């Protein structure tokens, strides 16, 4: 277990409520160290989406309560959060990960195109990096395909390739395996782990499937962390 | 660059809807620009009904009335001009030429105009086009008749036909001058002006029609003058005309001549500058075109509304796409820009396509418009007004994109990284 690396995510007394609503999230403490592979268990309604939205800087936490990679997310402007997310975080969704009108190559390259800082982290030329990320995930022969022609498993691998491109420090995977069958689930996880290890990224993997927990360095249960809604 | 790329891919991905939307905008723009073109063409055609003429002169009266009877062949003059007065002005040193018109008779509903060679030589229309003969020649002798193109077409006359001329304007005049055998010697080319709807004889011919009618009624039995009598005359006296067209030696004399003629002591006359009078008349009757313009403005609005609807309805389907773009680091402002850019691109494509439609349409329809309606719609670069219309359509397109974009912005903020559908 990694113990002496700097903190990647550091939440203290993090609470959040949507406008005029009751608090949906109230976390006294949550810390994840850089390089850790963390499994976050969260059934639906446990505030999982809200927590990920806060960490990714889509939602605005109170200042001083959430630090990601040393940045106080609550103190950043909305534009700064967008740029922070684009340059430091890779994101994999549960389903419907891809922009339907772009081909595989363009989908993988999208975050790098959105953010110039992410582009600076590339070690080679963009198309080479895209091809290399694709070959790591075994989809190099699909680069010019329309994403709507891919199977769900292939789509998830495209999403993973997109998330690891440019080696962001933090990769958030939001139920990426729930649409895969058991065999493909393990194959996908193995690929993801290998790539995360190569890039030296931190992995925050969210799922309601506790059966996957033992493959991670550490697992956390959101209902236990979250005091809101109790 | 990225936004352009995304907008292009997104638009081409929904090719059918986007091309239909662009087409509807294109048709709106084509209509708007086309109506403006036709408006200009109509105004030009109208103001050029007669050209090259510096003054139109008739007996004292209203300028519009003078234009109506002298140029458009509508209504009739209050009084005539004596032959001597006309001759005086004709020989005036500042006057280059005059075309006399003696009106008052008709043939089966078409006006008969007595004039002289000067008409065939100097009458110009539409930017200086001269009178030309489709066949035959000018009227020279007393009983020669030249037909306007429309008269020949309607009445089916050919060279050599003999016709009679009515005294007074009624088509079924009961006092037909049957005794006067006029012969068709020429047919004019189409001009798409009132020239086409008249029958031209010599001044002497008009005098001949009226011989024996000096008292105002038909000649008493025994006083009739036969065609042979007229032909036997050495010279047929012309005592009166109705109006005349005047070309000055130089444009610079026009105003002075107009003043001199209008204030002449010999005979009460009115002189009009035709270009001025025609644009004055157009202001009076051109308002119908404004109505057309308003209608095509509404068509543009409907086209833009169609675009608004098509973008708006696609939004729900694109919420997931918005969430993905946000997760990848695109700010809400980028998402608004993307949608506005899509709408703007559609309206630009639509506008360009519309302009292309106008030019292709004009190129194809120009000869037909001219042949059928005498409408010369010029194929020319867009003028400032049209560019302004097109600019407005494009700007409205961007604004129309803003409405769904702002909704997407709110949705994107609300949905965050997950989509609750």
| ipTM value for the complex | 0.81
With beta carbons under 8 A apart, name residues in chain B contacting A93. Answer: 324, 327, 417
Shared-domain flag, residues B242 and B356 = no
- Is the pLDDT reported for residue B326 higher than 60? yes
Asked if A154 reaches chain B (Cβ–Cβ under 8 Å), the answer is no
Separation between Cα atoms, residue B88 and residue B94, nearest integer Å: 12
Shared-domain flag, residues B300 and B389 = yes
Domain residue extents for chain A:
7-225
Shared-domain flag, residues B31 and B95 = no
The residue whose two tokens read 């009751």 is A22
Cβ <8 Å between B329 and A86 = yes
Shared-domain flag, residues B211 and B84 = yes
Range of the domain at B342: 2-46+287-415
Cβ <8 Å between A174 and B417 = yes
Of the listed ranges A25-29, B91-95, B179-183, B221-225, the one predicted with least confidence:
B221-225
Shared-domain flag, residues B197 and B337 = no
List strands edge to edge, sheet with A170-174.
A89-92, A170-174, A202-207, A37-41, A218-221
The pLDDT confidence band at residue B167, using thresholds 50, 70 and 90, is low
State the average pLDDT for chain B. 82
Reduced 3-state DSSP string for B32-83: HHHHHHHHHHHHHHHHCCCECCCEEEEECCCHHHHHHHHCCCCCCCCCCEEH
Shared-domain flag, residues B238 and B331 = no
Cβ <8 Å between A118 and B2 = no
- Between chain A and chain B, the number of residue pairs with CB atoms below 8 A apart is 74
Q: What is the CATH number of domain A7-225?
A: 3.40.50.300
Higher pLDDT among residues A144 and B180, named by residue? A144
Q: Which of A151-165, B169-183, B245-259 has the highest mean pLDDT?
A: B245-259
* Residue B372 maps to a domain: yes
The minimum CA-CA distance between A37 and chain B, rounded to whole Å, is 20
- Is the pLDDT reported for residue B215 higher than 70? no
* Residue B281 maps to a domain: no
Shared-domain flag, residues B16 and B140 = no
The pLDDT confidence band at residue B177, using thresholds 50, 70 and 90, is low
The minimum CA-CA distance between B43 and chain A, rounded to whole Å, is 50
The minimum CA-CA distance between A101 and chain B, rounded to whole Å, is 6
**Boundary (domain end) residue, out of B213, B246, B272:** B272
The minimum CA-CA distance between A218 and chain B, rounded to whole Å, is 24
Shared-domain flag, residues B40 and B69 = no
The reported pTM is 0.69
The pLDDT confidence band at residue A75, using thresholds 50, 70 and 90, is very high
* Residue B421 maps to a domain: no
Segment A100-115 shows an average pLDDT of 88
What integer pLDDT is reported at residue B91 of this predicted model?
A: 92
With beta carbons under 8 A apart, name residues in chain B contacting A101. Answer: 9-10, 12-14
Shared-domain flag, residues B263 and B342 = no
With beta carbons under 8 A apart, name residues in chain B contacting A106. Answer: 5, 9
Segment B194-211 shows an average pLDDT of 86
**Boundary (domain end) residue, out of B211, B243, B272:** B272
**Considering its fold, how many domains does chain B have in total?**
2
**Boundary (domain end) residue, out of B272, B295, B330:** B272
Shared-domain flag, residues B76 and B36 = no
Cβ <8 Å between A100 and B13 = yes
Shared-domain flag, residues B41 and B89 = no
Separation between Cα atoms, residue B30 and residue B19, nearest integer Å: 16
């Amino acid at each position: 277990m990694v113990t002496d690396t700097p903190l990647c995510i550091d939440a203290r007394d993090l609470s959040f409520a949507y406008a005029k609503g009751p608090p949906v999230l109230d976390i006294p403490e949550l810390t994840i160290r850089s390089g850790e592979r963390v499994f976050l268990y969260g059934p639906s309604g446990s505030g999982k989406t809200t927590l990920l939205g806060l960490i990714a800087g889509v939602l605005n936490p109170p200042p001083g309560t959430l630090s990601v990679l040393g940045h106080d997310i609550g103190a950043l402007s909305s534009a700064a959060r967008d740029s922070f997310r684009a340059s430091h975080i890779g994101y994999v969704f549960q389903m419907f990960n891809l922009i339907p009108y772009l081909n595989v190559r363009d989908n993988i390259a999208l975050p790098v195109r959105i953010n110039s800082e992410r582009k600076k982290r590339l070690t080679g030329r963009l198309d080479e990096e895209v091809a290399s990320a694709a070959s790591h995930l075994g989809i190099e022969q699909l680069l010019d395909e329309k994403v709507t022609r891919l199977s769900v498993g292939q789509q998830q691998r495209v999403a993973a390739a997109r998330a690891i491109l440019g080696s962001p420090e933090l990769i958030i995977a939001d139920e990426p395996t729930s649409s895969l069958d058991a065999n493909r689930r393990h194959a996908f996880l193995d690929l993801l782990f290998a790539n995360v290890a190569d890039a030296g990224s931190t992995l925050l993997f969210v799922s309601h499937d506790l059966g996957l927990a033992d493959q991670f360095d550490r697992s956390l249960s959101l209902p236990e962390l979250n005091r809101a809604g109790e | 660059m990225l936004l352009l790329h995304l907008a292009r891919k997104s638009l081409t991905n929904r090719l059918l809807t986007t091309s239909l939307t662009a087409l509807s905008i294109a048709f709106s723009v084509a209509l708007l620009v086309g109506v403006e073109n036709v408006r200009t063409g109509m105004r030009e055609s109208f103001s050029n009904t007669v050209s090259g003429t510096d003054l139109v002169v008739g007996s004292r009266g209203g300028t519009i009335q003078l234009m109506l009877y002298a140029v458009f062949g509508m209504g009739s003059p209050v009084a005539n001009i004596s032959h001597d007065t006309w001759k005086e002005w004709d020989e005036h040193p500042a006057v280059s030429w005059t075309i006399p018109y003696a009106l008052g008779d008709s043939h089966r509903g078409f006006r008969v105009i007595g004039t002289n060679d000067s008409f065939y030589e100097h009458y110009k229309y539409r930017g200086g086009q001269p009178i030309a003969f489709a066949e035959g020649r000018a009227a020279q002798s007393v009983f020669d008749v030249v037909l306007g193109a429309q008269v020949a077409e309607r009445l089916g006359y050919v060279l050599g036909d003999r016709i009679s001329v009515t005294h007074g304007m009624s088509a079924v005049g009961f006092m037909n001058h049957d005794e006067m055998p006029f012969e068709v010697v020429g047919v004019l080319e189409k001009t798409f002006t009132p020239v086409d709807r008249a029958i031209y004889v010599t001044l002497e011919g008009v005098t001949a029609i009226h011989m024996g009618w000096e008292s105002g009624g038909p000649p008493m039995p025994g006083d009739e003058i036969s065609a042979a009598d007229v032909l036997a005359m050495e010279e047929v006296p012309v005592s009166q005309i109705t109006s005349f067209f005047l070309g000055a030696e130089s444009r610079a004399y026009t105003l002075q001549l107009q003043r001199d003629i209008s204030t002449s002591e010999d005979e009460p006359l009115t002189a009009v500058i035709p270009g001025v009078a025609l644009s004055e008349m157009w202001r009076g009757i051109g308002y119908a075109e404004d109505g057309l313009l308003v209608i095509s403005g509404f068509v543009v609005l409907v086209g833009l509304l169609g675009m608004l609807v098509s973008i708006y309805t696609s939004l729900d389907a694109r919420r997931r796409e918005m969430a993905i773009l946000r997760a990848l680091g695109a700010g809400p402002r980028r998402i608004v820009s993307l949608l506005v850019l899509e709408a703007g691109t559609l309206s630009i494509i639509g506008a360009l396509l519309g302009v292309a439609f106008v030019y292709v349409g004009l190129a194809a329809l120009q000869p037909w418009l001219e042949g059928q309606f005498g409408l010369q719609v010029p194929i020319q670069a867009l003028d400032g007004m049209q560019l302004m219309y097109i600019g407005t359509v494009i700007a409205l397109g961007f604004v129309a994109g803003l409405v769904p974009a702002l909704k997407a912005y709110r949705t994107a903020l609300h949905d965050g990284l997950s989509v609750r559908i």
